[in-house]
Structure 1
Amino acid sequence: MGENLTKAIEIDLGLPDEGVDLAGFYPPRMWDGSGCGLKASLLVSDLTDGQKLVFGSIDALFIDGQFHDALANRLGKKYHLNIIASHTHNAPALAKSLPKLGKLSAAWFDKVVARIAAGIIDERAVKLAQIGGGSIATDLVINRRLDAWQLDYRRLKKGRLRLVRTVALAPNPNGEVDNEIKAIFFKCAMGKVRAIVWSLSAHPAFAPEHASISPDFPGVVGGLLKKAYGDDLISIFLPGFAGSSIPKCPALKLGRQSFMQALISLAPFNKSIPVFDPNSYWLWSRNAANFIKDIVSVSVWEELHDLQLHHERGQPFTVFRDQSLGDIALSITAISFGSHAAIITMNGELLSEWSALLDVSSHRDGLCIVSGYGVGDCLYVPSESEIARGGYEVERFQEFFGLSGRFIENIDTKIRKNLKLVIKKLC
């Protein structure tokens, strides 16, 4: 525990100096040289005995233990890191453990580590004085796990016609989602909103410029919030339970699709995620920003220095057993600002179906943001009900993540138990 002295930092990561893969799809795409610079958006809080907590997000697909260690070694022992990947699918890789999703550039990796470390150590960061927050239900997200009959195109290539019942990567209007935008706001001593930590459970994987570097919709929303609150605003995006949900956005009309896109759209028994209309995607992002501004307008503010900052890190526990790598672990970390707000993070891509299962509100009062994509082992984390259904997030992802194994029995009980232990320490 410690007195809450918190600063906000936005670090411009720039662009690579060489050709790089963009991580997020298989096979990876080569960067075409276009795009806008990526950022690290962070809060740095003083803890007891001169220790400091660094919390925030980086524009990247994943952050693994090797990145964490490289940054921690650069900063020194007094810094505790709790950093989340925004999960944009249009950034160079920072996770060395996922080469199939995008080959890592050592030059980019080193550049990002150096720039973030320098930005954290810089004492010119803005001190924060007040905290507010809230949540609001939206209609911005949709589940992407659809039970459907699919044509087995691999067998079709061999002259065999077969339909299979499977879970397709396609919009499922009846699937579970976490449809709330949750946000924590910070004002400086002048009463100006200077930092916003916000979460929406949706995959940032649909930037219109497929081979361009982009922070995807979190960057668009952050830019719109800067227009509302000033260029010095720092926007920190957490993807929440985004493992099985995507933006609910209109599809590009068939006449505007490329030949290959149209062919996929028209193929029989081939349910898939449609190509988004770029203009509609921008409007969707604007709606997300407007929801956040609505929360700001009704937020109740408290003095930040009156709230005790608490940071807890649970013991890693096994959720997946790999045939070659052994046990793959989940780690839960929590930050609370008194009873006003809490942020709970885990590594891995937690499916949307966890939102109701974990039910954090039953263990803690006040605003609580829960998000995956933290530092650690990289994998999807499905619930027992979704493991039974199968599909990409249960089986097919393993090939691209370098895994081959199975999830543990009673994963629901184990995650709920460990989450409860961490939350209890915050009280």
Structure 2
Amino acid sequence: MRAGFLTVDITPARPAPLAGFAARTRAFAGIDAPLEANLAGFIGDDGQRVVLGSLDTLFVGAATHAAIAAAADMAPERLVLVATHTHNAPSLAAEVPQLGALDPDYRDMVVQRVAEAIRRLPAAPVAAGTAERHAPYNVNRRKPAWVLDYPALRRERRLRFGREIALAPYRKGIVDQTLRCIVLRDGGGTVRAVVWSFACHANRYPRMDRVSPDFPGLVRDHLRRRFGAGCAVLYLPGFAGSAIADIPFPIPRTVNEFLRIALPFNPYVPWFTPETFRAWGDRLAATAVACAEAARPADAELTHRHARSASVFHGTPEIALDLVDLDFGPACGIVAMTGEVIGEWGPILAPHLPPGRIATGYLAGPCLYVPTDAAVRAGGYEADRFRTLFDLDGAFIPDLDRTVARAVAGLLDGQPVANTLHPARQERLA
């Protein structure tokens, strides 16, 4: 297998709104760390390319993906872009304006720089190895709890009290605590790229008004200190839709923070301080470095498949899931799909995923959460409440589990996927 790797700086040159929180509407106040697009281009003997990219942004919208493909003179299905989902970067998805207004100049800069890098990706023989490590640094955030709506009580004098799925750590919930990596080495054994995955929302950076890649950037720095400054580092968030950082119990610094902890029936997500963020991130990074060091290279041959599921959301717009499979031989590969796939999909899709595969959401395309049937019945932000912020009007289909599992199984089997908008397509590259 031949491949080339590049890192592109996509840090904004002037202030712009950050994407991720509807209440945050002002332009950023400063830059704490650069944003990057890390690219891996796989090239066959016929000169055809498949490019995998990891971009420091909340979502890569369908229009941005199409613009990069066109500017790079690539077929869109051969351009596999995944967002790191940092909540401290400008938007690249006009489809979700409530989560951060898109700055056209910033988007045009990213399109131009990434497309230019794709056009000049080098190509040399590489080998691929995989490894995984236990990483107990995340937790499920769909907590069944009794909740008292204090803002409604204070502002509207309205009592709203009941049992619901709250956004708060839930230690009995499903979460994937495995850190996975694929390491790509050149003929001399030098590590040229690390593709790593850990299911966790990149939304707890302690300085909300600053540009930052969040923990993917911190881990990236550690991996480069180990493998060299030229190492491309591609982060894939996994099934992170219902996973957050498992943060030590915070010490209140303000009255509001004290009340969040002290008030009854008030589930909350703990917060980082700069010091606790660094300590948590360093532990995660140490695990990532150990995982990459354990990966043993083997000859690889890339197989690329792509498919689209049947519609999973009926409404405005109508949404199906795009799926991509990149196999680096029998030992390892990547399965990516659009949407914020919640961790509860892990047990459902595990029977269809071969060993050594990194499964991830956040593939470029439609912006939505992808809940399971059980999550839709239970309710909560990831199943229902997110729709207003994502400008979606409609409902999920009643048979999500079977529809998505069928699409994934058909994709990996290389067979036509029943009831999909188009069948799985496969190319084998030397």
Q: Give the TM interval when normalised to the shorter protein.
A: over 0.9
How does 1:88-99 map onto structure 2 within 5 Å?
A: 88-99=86-97
Pairing partner for 1:372 from 347, 361, 365: 361
How does 1:231-250 map onto structure 2 within 5 Å?
A: 231-250=229-248
CA distance in 2, matches of 1:315, 1:63: 17
CA distance in 1, matches of 2:25, 2:383: 24
CA distance in 2, matches of 1:298, 1:9: 23
Pairing partner for 1:308 from 291, 301, 310: 301
Amino acid at match of 1:346: M
1:263 corresponds to which residue?
259
* Matched position secondary structure for 2:23: coil
Pairing partner for 1:418 from 402, 407, 414: 407
* Deviation, structure 1 residue 296: 3.0
Q: In terms of mean alpha carbon deviation, does 95-104 or 26-35 score higher?
A: 26-35
Is 1:351 equivalent to 2:348 in the alignment? no
Q: Is the 8 A contact 2:137 2:177 kept in 1?
A: yes
1:318 corresponds to which residue?
311
Is 1:400 equivalent to 2:393 in the alignment? no
1:381 corresponds to which residue?
370
Q: Is the 8 A contact 1:41 1:236 kept in 2?
A: yes
Amino acid at match of 1:289: A
- How many percent of aligned residue pairs carry the same amino acid? 33
Change beyond 3 A, Cα 1:158–1:392: same
CA distance in 2, matches of 1:296, 1:159: 55
Q: In terms of mean alpha carbon deviation, does 402-411 or 148-157 score higher?
A: 148-157
For structure 1, list consecutive stretches of 5 or more residues without a partner in the other structure: none
* Deviation, structure 1 residue 399: 0.8
CA-to-partner distance for each residue in 1:279-336, whole Å, 9 max, x for gaps? 2221222222222222233322213xxx2211001124211112xx241111111100
How does 1:156-305 map onto structure 2 within 5 Å?
A: 156=153, 157-254=155-252, 257-303=253-299
* Deviation, structure 1 residue 374: 0.4
1:50 corresponds to which residue?
47
Is 1:36 equivalent to 2:33 in the alignment? yes
CA distance in 2, matches of 1:260, 1:29: 21
Amino acid at match of 1:203: H
CA distance in 2, matches of 1:344, 1:299: 19
CA-to-partner distance for each residue in 1:228-263, whole Å, 9 max, x for gaps? 111111110000010001011213311xx2343333
CA distance in 1, matches of 2:295, 2:95: 41
CA distance in 2, matches of 1:326, 1:384: 20
CA distance in 2, matches of 1:169, 1:90: 20
Pairing partner for 2:21 from 25, 49, 53: 25
Change beyond 3 A, Cα 1:110–1:243: same
CA distance in 1, matches of 2:145, 2:75: 52
* Matched position secondary structure for 2:31: coil
CA distance in 1, matches of 2:128, 2:279: 29
CA distance in 1, matches of 2:214, 2:262: 27
CA RMSD of superposed structures (Å): 1.8
Q: In terms of mean alpha carbon deviation, does 206-215 or 27-36 score higher?
A: 27-36
For structure 2, list consecutive stretches of 5 or more residues without a partner in the other structure: 415-425
User: TM-score under structure 1 normalisation?
Assistant: 0.93
Amino acid at match of 1:68: H
CA-to-partner distance for each residue in 1:28-56, whole Å, 9 max, x for gaps? 34211332221001100113632211102
CA-to-partner distance for each residue in 1:46-105, whole Å, 9 max, x for gaps? 136322111021000001110011111111145720000000000000001010000000
CA distance in 2, matches of 1:260, 1:127: 56
* Deviation, structure 1 residue 353: 0.4
CA distance in 2, matches of 1:252, 1:29: 26
Is 1:74 equivalent to 2:71 in the alignment? yes
CA-to-partner distance for each residue in 1:383-424, whole Å, 9 max, x for gaps? 011111101111111110001221101100000001000011
* Matched position secondary structure for 2:136: coil
CA distance in 1, matches of 2:371, 2:392: 15
Matched residues, number:
413
Amino acid at match of 2:59: F
Q: Is the 8 A contact 2:247 2:271 kept in 1?
A: no
Q: Is the 8 A contact 1:7 1:126 kept in 2?
A: yes
* Deviation, structure 1 residue 128: 5.2
* Matched position secondary structure for 1:82: strand
CA distance in 1, matches of 2:224, 2:98: 35
* Deviation, structure 1 residue 126: 7.0
1:142 corresponds to which residue?
139
1:341 corresponds to which residue?
332
Q: Is the 8 A contact 1:128 1:186 kept in 2?
A: no
CA distance in 1, matches of 2:74, 2:290: 40
User: TM-score under structure 2 normalisation?
Assistant: 0.92
CA distance in 2, matches of 1:78, 1:411: 29
CA distance in 2, matches of 1:48, 1:67: 29
TM superposition outliers: structure 1 runs of 4+ over 6 Å: none
CA distance in 2, matches of 1:326, 1:277: 39
* Deviation, structure 1 residue 278: 2.6
CA distance in 1, matches of 2:128, 2:74: 28
* Matched position secondary structure for 1:49: coil
Amino acid at match of 1:69: A
2:59 corresponds to which residue?
62
CA-to-partner distance for each residue in 1:108-167, whole Å, 9 max, x for gaps? 0000001111111224x4745221111122211100011111112354133233411111
* Matched position secondary structure for 2:10: strand
CA distance in 2, matches of 1:301, 1:117: 29
* Deviation, structure 1 residue 375: 1.1
